[in-house]
Amino acid sequence: MIIGIVGGGQLARMLALSGIPLGMKFIILDPAEDACAAPLGEHLCGEYDDTELLKVMADKCDVVTYEFENVPATSIAFLSQSIEVFPSEHALATTNDRLLEKAMFNELKIPTVPIADIQSENDLNKAVNNIGLPAILKTRTLGYDGKGQFKVKQQDDIKKAWQELGGVPLILEGFANFKREVSIIAVRGYDGETRFYPLSENIHQDGILKTAYSRPGDAMQSKAEEYVRLILDKFKYVGVMALELFDTGDELLVNEMAPRVHNSAHWTIEGAVTSQFENHLRAIARLPLGSTAANGYVKMTNYIGEIPEKKELLAIPGLHLHDYNKKARPGRKVGHATQWSNHKLD
């Protein structure tokens, strides 16, 4: 089976690394000559909307997926004319717009922070009055890792926030006073069978995920499963989906969904019977899903900017290093490590 992946970063790399033992082959579209997934398959080196290359992908592959949500919608539509693409265009379009996404959660009666559509400074003033402060002004599209966001702490910030972000479609969100951030990763097969991984508890630094802990047996597991199942079924989704949530102590508020394998579940490579990467491939390849059960407790640490001295890291008993083979650069995710334990980690 030949799998096409749009995007050749570390998620594509780990997908390929988990699919090769199943006999799968990969064709990877990415404009960067040194894309870190490229050595694991055939590399189509070009832009994501290059119709010649998309045609080659559609002709040669059995099924196509993508590793990031900002893939041009036109490319997915083009591919979908001649080949199955998972997750579907509809799921992708919804996740790409924070307002549509949160409106969809609310339609499904899934709780979120209060939200308002902001098209003018006047809208912003009104919404701040309704929602209260602090609040967060966000661009509706193209935001990730905390980019395109402005925290409005006091009345004086409203003008600044508008000056910084105004001019593109925006959403104002109430501020969640959360005790912790968690995510649930689920996989839905071609036949609709759905399985859930244990919750991940996530610690961010400067808006970027730094550490994730697997939390088998967490008290919030069943609520999170209920919410993600509603979304998966709504889209008749095929593949892995991640849902990021705020745990306020009393309830779970959904922040956003990602229609792909997710950084907070990299621990599943060593900490679950079947990794999120393998299960995503099984789902899109119409194969039976693997068990999502945890086989212990895992702490995952992201390496951002550069990887610490390898000799020291690998001297730590039981540490698994994943070096994405990317050039060191500030703010860039270049690798991660997992540490396994048979008891809960802090």
Compare residues 44 and 137 and give the one whose CB is closer to ligand AMP: 137
- Pick out residues in 133-192 that bind ligand AMP (CB under 6 A): 136, 143, 146, 173, 175-176, 181
Residue (of 122, 123, 167) closest to 148 by Cα position: 167
Contacts with ligand AMP, 103-142, as mask; x by CB under 6 A: ----------x----------------------x------
67 is a contact residue toward ligand AMP (CB under 6 A): no
Tell me which amino acid residue 326 is.
K
Task: Determine the size of the site formed for ligand AMP (CB under 6 A).
Answer: 12
Distance CA 96, CA 90 (A): 10
Measured from the CB atom, is 24 or 243 closer to ligand AMP?
243
CB of 199 to ligand AMP, least distance (A): 15
Q: Measured from the CB atom, is 190 or 227 closer to ligand AMP?
A: 227
Q: Which of 60, 180, 204, 286 binds ligand AMP (CB under 6 A)?
A: 204
Neighbours of 248 (CB within 10 A): 15
Shortest distance, position 295 Cβ to ligand AMP, whole Å: 27
Q: Which is nearer to ligand AMP, 169 or 207 (CB)?
A: 207
Taking the C-alpha atoms of residue 111 and residue 102, their distance in angstroms, rounded to an integer, is: 9
* Burial bucket for residue 125 (CB in 10 Å: 0-12, 13-18, 19+): middle
Across 285-307, b (16+ Cβ under 10 Å) vs e yields bebebbebebebbbbbbbbbeeb
Exposed / middle / buried, residue 132 (Cβ in 10 Å: 0-12, 13-18, 19+) = exposed
| DSSP string for residues in 225-275 | HHHHHHHHHHTT--EEEEEEEEE-SS-EEEEEEESS--GGGTTHHHHBSS-
Beta carbon nearer to ligand AMP, 112 or 214: 112
Q: What is the DSSP letter of 86?
A: S
Q: Which is nearer to ligand AMP, 39 or 132 (CB)?
A: 132
- Print the binding letters for residues 214-253 with ligand AMP: x by CB under 6 A, - otherwise: ----------------------------------------
Q: Which residue has the tokens 């925290």?
A: 151
Binding site for ligand AMP (CB under 6 A): 113, 136, 143, 146, 173, 175-176, 181, 204, 207, 255-256
